[in-house]
Amino acid sequence: MKIANNSAVAFHYTLKNDEGEVVDTSEGQAPLAYLHGAANIVPGLENALEGLEAGAAFEVSIDAKDGYGDINPELIHSVTREQLQGVEDLEVGMMFTAQNGDQVAHFTVTEIEGDDITVDGNHPMAGRNLHFSGTVETVREATEEELAHKHIHGEGGHQH
């Protein structure tokens, strides 16, 4: 079976940056499982996997815009230390979550100058090219429940 919309796919991968450094890998873990066509993985990788079958190896480079997107300057903010109540020992690189009603946002501290803190709400890989290599492990039809939930259940997927 070839990977197409509504396929349940599991694959092993290694992700490298432009410098060739490993950023993430599934090595030593369960393969990553996703529902093809449901925007569960970055668009460039999903497009590259379409049409592959179990056992296929892949190697693909994805431009930032087709990965985690370009850096959005509107997601970079300067806040005061006072606004980050309850956050102790701030350090550059520290990640935290902010909640406003039902909305949740993830931020990374990028600069600290006295009581002025710069936080970035962009994904840490935004603005970066992605270089994936790996192997498709399994491809099957998704179950009705997986289609309804828009994600894969079981090992490597979502656990209910």
Is residue 160 in a domain?
Answer: no
The alpha carbon torsion through 131, 136, 137, 141 (nearest 10 deg) reads 130
User: Which residues in 18-51 are b (16+ Cβ under 10 Å) and which e?
Assistant: eeeeeeeebeeeebbbbbbbbebbbebbbebbee
CATH number at residue 144: 3.10.50.40
Structure tokens at 115: 């009581």
Q: Are residues 14 and 60 in the same domain?
A: yes
Tell me the H-state helices in the chain. Answer: 43-49, 144-149
The C-alpha angle 102, 33, 55, rounded to 5 degrees, equals 160
DSSP 121-150: -S-TTTT--EEEEEEEEEEEEPPHHHHHHT
Would residue 154 count as lying in a domain? Answer: no
- Both 61 and 11 in one domain: the answer is yes
When pLDDT is averaged across residues 52-66 and rounded to a whole number, the result is 98
Given this model, what pLDDT does residue 30 score? 94
| Total structural domains within the chain | 2
- For residue 116, the cross-strand partners are 80, 113
Distance CA 110, CA 78 (A): 10
157 domain residue, yes or no: no
Based on the fold, state whether residues 53 and 102 are members of the same structural domain.
no
- Is residue 12 domain-shared with residue 64, that is, in the same domain? yes
Q: Are residues 84 and 56 in the same domain?
A: no
The confidence band for 158, taking pLDDT boundaries of 50, 70 and 90, is: low
More confident residue, 11 or 84: 11
- C-beta of residue 132 within 8 angstroms of C-beta of residue 59: yes
Say whether both 60 and 136 belong to one domain: yes
- Determine the Cα–Cα distance for residues 40 and 47; give it in Å rounded to an integer: 12
User: Which tokens go with 51?
Assistant: 């049409």
pLDDT digits (tens, 9 = 90+) for 11-34: 999 999 999 999 999 999 999 999
- The verdict on residue 54 lying in a domain is yes
Q: Domain span at residue 61? A: 7-68+125-149
**What is the residue-averaged pLDDT of the chain?**
92
Per-residue confidence band for 99, with pLDDT thresholds at 50, 70 and 90: confident
Q: Are residues 130 and 113 in the same domain?
A: no
Answer whether 158's CB lies under 8 Å from 145's CB. Answer: no
Reply yes or no on whether the pLDDT at 157 is more than 70.
no
106-132: per-residue pLDDT in tens? 999 999 999 899 999 999 999 999 999
Q: Residue 33 falls within a domain, yes or no?
A: yes
| Residue 155 is assigned to a structural domain of this protein | no
